[in-house]
A and B are shown apart, each in its own frame.
Chain A
Amino acid sequence: MKQLNLILFTLFLPVCIMAQQRITGKITDSKKRPLQGVNVAIKDSYDGATSGKDGSFSFTTDAKGVQYVTATLLGYANQEQKVFISGTLEVNIIMRNNINDLKVVTITAGSFEASDEGKTTVLKPLDIVTTAGAGADIVNALKTLPGTQQTNDREGLFVRGGTGYETQTYIDGMLVRNPFFSGLPDQPGRGRFSPFLFKGTTFSSGGYSAQYGQGLSSALILESTDLPQRSSYTLGASVIGISGGLEELMKDKKGSYGIEADYTNLGPYLDVLKPKFRFSAKPVIMGGSANFRRKTSNTGMLKFYGYANKTHMGTIRPSLEHPGYEEQFELRNHNVYTNLTYKESLGNDWKFNAGVSYSVNVDKIDLDTLNKSASAKVKNQSELAQVKAMLTKGLGQYSLLRFGGEYQYGVEKAAFNNWPANYVDNYTSGFVESDIYFTPRLVGRFGGRVEYTSRIAKANVAPRVSLAYKLTGLSQVSFAYGDFYQKPEQQYLRFKPDLGYMKATHYIGTYQWVAKNYTLRVEAFYKKYHDLVKTSPDTTTSGTGYAKGIELFWRDRKTIKNTDYWISYSYLDTKRNYLNYPFEVQPDFAAKHTFSLVYKYNIPAISTNLGVTYSFSTGRPYYNPTLPESKFMSEKTMTYNSIGLSASYLTSIRKAFTIFILSVSNAPNFRQVYGYRYSSDKLRREEIVPNIPRFIYLGMFMNFGIDRRQDVINNL
């Protein structure tokens, strides 16, 4: 009988416990705000419910006794609560933010990253292309970010009281010796490389990694794209030239190759625009590039990029020195750039990166005061060969150690008429750096760099430290400190090999708040310059200086429908004593206040994007030699204002994806004066102004996608 009872009991056990109990409760976050959509369940059963708008839930269950109530919501840590069910039960659960990969702190002091990869990057690669007034030039687009100067009369990116020379450009880790086209006086060349070549752009305005050296102020780190998603042909035509290219994705989808050619001739367009100065040779640019990419394994990638370019241009302008005469400046430039990189995972959390690069740049310049004296011929040639290797070892979940070295062989040749001044430089460096996550919220980057260059025959050691701490899921603070060394510019090092390294020490503090559609950044910095080049009374590296300031960045992609805008403001207090400066003063390339507003408006109904960029900066000092030395650089130019407009329209012509672009730089034709130049007798001066104050560009690009997707769909 007993046994029968037992049998019956066992058989009906599942049935016996089927009495239903009601479980209710409320789910909140750690700040007691209700959470909606939380999946609440009795562990290992089907019973449960989803929390409503007020965070409350209610369900019935057959479960009894000791049970676990689970609560899951994406972005929050799973919660499990032990309960004892004997009747109606109330369970209130508090969920905590999950610290997962997305929420782990990253080092951000001093750097702006444009990439598709992170969900919370400040910029997307497309933002660079679509910034009005930038003309799809990377550096021009970056001039809308804090820390940069509106120095449109000089080549390069002027960052935080630094000169254009103090910013270095890297492609896939390799230094680019001549990232800009050679330009005419007061009309700097734009960047050589199209923003479409890169999937990631990091602009560091200071405190950057020990992987990079030889830039006192700033690093522009470009990462080339991987395999294209499909094969395509492109054709472009604009008021200034034509271009064409093809890119072929190999059948096995593990490799691709492409070629591109372009021809630009400003001649016909300049006849319409009427520039301020005549052209003796209207600018003609011819170029071509080739690339090859191959996946060598699941994790390995080999990339080649090669570029060759030829330009010819010249202007004739009234002579300042010799009234009544004209000065001719004619430039011929050849440039070749090649870059071969390889990366692979070696297993065991080791990664290997290596690259070789070779480039050569030749500028031939004819200077002539017409009908007065014989012309002077200047030739400048720089060659750079380099090799770089780096190993990275992952340590635990997030931390890592990286170290490597590079070697550069540079040949700098210059000739004035038949007077050559050539030199060779062997530059070697090694670096080691470790990102250590003390907790997922606190990371430190500790590293250093050792450099030796044969021309100077001295070594330097540059320590770099960064810290970042995540305050909340969206906000963090970062700090960076580091020493940065750079060789003096070639024109000084050429004649005075006993110069030392120039040096800058950076201290940076950043607060950043990044939500999905909003970004706020506030950064304060102090930079101390040592050993800058002096040319008077003698050429030495004994100059000094400092820069300090505060910068703001705000971006909002949501508040106004279909509108995306950002605002940058930079306050800069900088003085330096370098070149022929008699004492520390605010240099002639630095403005105290700089402001930019970038506004993008999208009209989906007619697939059109409109953009407006407004830039403002206060006047820059200029040197007036008629004043006593104590008033050196005491006068300032007028304020700088510029409004760029752009409109792009997407459509398809036959099967080609086509985009029309209209862009206007300085649309209201504001007067822009960058400075003044004086004749040596101090009797005359001329304004430094843009040769073409307002530039209107109209172009179209067609992409004939050999869209495998369509092929495949049509063949089904």
Chain B
Amino acid sequence: MKRILFSICLLVGLASASMAQSAQYEAVMGRNVAMLDDSTSFNPDKLLEIGNTFERIAAAEKTQWLPFYYASYCYVMSALMQRDNDKVDDLADKAAVNIEQAEAISPKNDEIDCIKSLVATSRIRVDPPSRGMKYGMESAELLVKANQTNQENPRVYLLQGQALFYTPEQFGGSKTEAKKKFEVALQKFSTFKPASSIAPHWGEAYAKGLMAQIK
């Protein structure tokens, strides 16, 4: 009897502990994802810091893909915003490691392919003449793959538009084509419902911002 009671207690105790962990997970994730919705977070150092927080959550929650996803997102955005070319590869490597772990948990995920595409894009800048072709193609192919998985994902169109926007015209870029992509992206954003409050939902403001730069 005693033993049974003790077991029950232990079970209840463990359950409450893990519930606490789960509630803590949602809360901490929610708080940090909210920071990414805030444009003041978008500087390379702050993004690295938030990315590190997600990486810590990921290390503790080994079965969730979102912490790895967000860690990677923060690192790759930090890479894209870096002033110093020398830091880009390190950040991109960090982003790549995390997104691979996310993919291991959640394969065939269009959101993950979007980040992988960004990682490839971020590497181009270090040496455009040597890397442009290789990583440009890789980045575009990942977006095609993401689009095949989910045609309603607005971020795919946003990133395709971004590639067209920033690629010099002699290498196939085009502001007018970019604008078309942003329009599709915004239309998809208007109907897009994230699976939860912490599921990926970034990009709408960014699409509008880029769009505004095209006359």
Contact = CB atoms under 8 A, between A and B. Distances in A.
Do A and B share a complex?
yes
Interface of A: 3, 6-7, 10-11, 13-14, 37, 39, 41, 43-50, 70, 72, 74-75, 116, 119, 124-126, 229-230, 516-517, 607, 650-652, 657-658, 705, 707-710, 712-714, 716
A11 B140 contact: no
A546 B83 CA distance: 51
Contacts of A716: 144, 147, 157, 160
A46 B130 contact: no
A75 B130 CA distance: 24
A74 B133 CA distance: 27
A709 B168 contact: no
A664 B150 CA distance: 54
Contact of A124 (B9, B52, B127): B127
Nearest to B160: A713
A658 B89 CA distance: 29
A200 to B, nearest CB: 13
B52 A39 contact: yes
28 contacts: A3-B5, A11-B9, A11-B13, A14-B17, A39-B55, A44-B60, A45-B60, A46-B53, A46-B56, A46-B60, A48-B53, A50-B53, A74-B91, A75-B90, A119-B89, A229-B137, A230-B137, A607-B168, A652-B169, A652-B171, A657-B172, A709-B140, A710-B172, A712-B140, A712-B144, A713-B140, A713-B144, A713-B164
A25 to B, nearest CB: 15
B10 interface: yes
Nearest to B24: A46
A75 B13 CA distance: 41
A11 B49 contact: no
A6 B56 contact: no
B12 interface: yes
Contact of B52 (A6, A50, A657): A50
Nearest to A41: B56
B59 interface: yes
Nearest to A127: B130
Contacts of B16: 11, 14
B153 to A, nearest CB: 12
A126 B129 contact: yes
A43 B169 CA distance: 49
B5 to A, nearest CB: 6
B193 interface: no
Contacts of A6: 6, 9
Contacts of A10: 9-10, 12-13
Given A652-B170, A657-B170, A716-B147, A50 B49 contact: yes
Interface residues of B, number: 50
Interface of A is mostly: mixed
Contacts of A230: 137
A74 B71 CA distance: 14
B52 A709 contact: no
Interface in B170-202: 170-172, 177, 181
Interface of B: 2, 5-6, 9-10, 12-13, 16-17, 20, 24, 28, 45, 48-49, 52-53, 55-57, 59-60, 86, 89-91, 93-94, 127, 129-131, 133-134, 136-137, 140-141, 144, 147, 157, 160, 164, 168-172, 177, 181
Nearest to B86: A516
A74 B6 CA distance: 46
A713 B139 CA distance: 12
Nearest to B140: A709
Given A516-B86, A607-B170, A709-B136, 18 more contacts: A3-B5, A6-B6, A6-B9, A7-B9, A11-B16, A41-B59, A45-B56, A46-B60, A48-B52, A50-B49, A119-B89, A229-B134, A607-B168, A650-B170, A652-B171, A709-B141, A713-B160, A713-B181
Contacts of B136: 709
A43 B58 CA distance: 11
Contact of B56 (A3, A48, A708): A48
Contacts of A712: 140, 144
Contacts of A48: 52-53, 56
A416 B169 CA distance: 59
B141 to A, nearest CB: 7
Nearest to B168: A607
B57 A46 contact: yes
Which 7 A-B residue pairs are closest in the complex by CB-CB distance? A10-B13, A652-B170, A709-B140, A39-B52, A50-B49, A41-B56, A10-B9
Nearest to B127: A124
A460 B154 CA distance: 68
A116 B130 contact: yes
Nearest to B147: A716
A638 to B, nearest CB: 38
A44 B24 CA distance: 13
A517 B172 contact: no
Contacts of B10: 10
B28 A46 contact: yes
Contacts of A49: 52
Contacts of A657: 170-172
A214 B62 CA distance: 57
Contacts of A707: 172
A705 B49 CA distance: 41
A44 B17 CA distance: 14
A673 B207 CA distance: 64
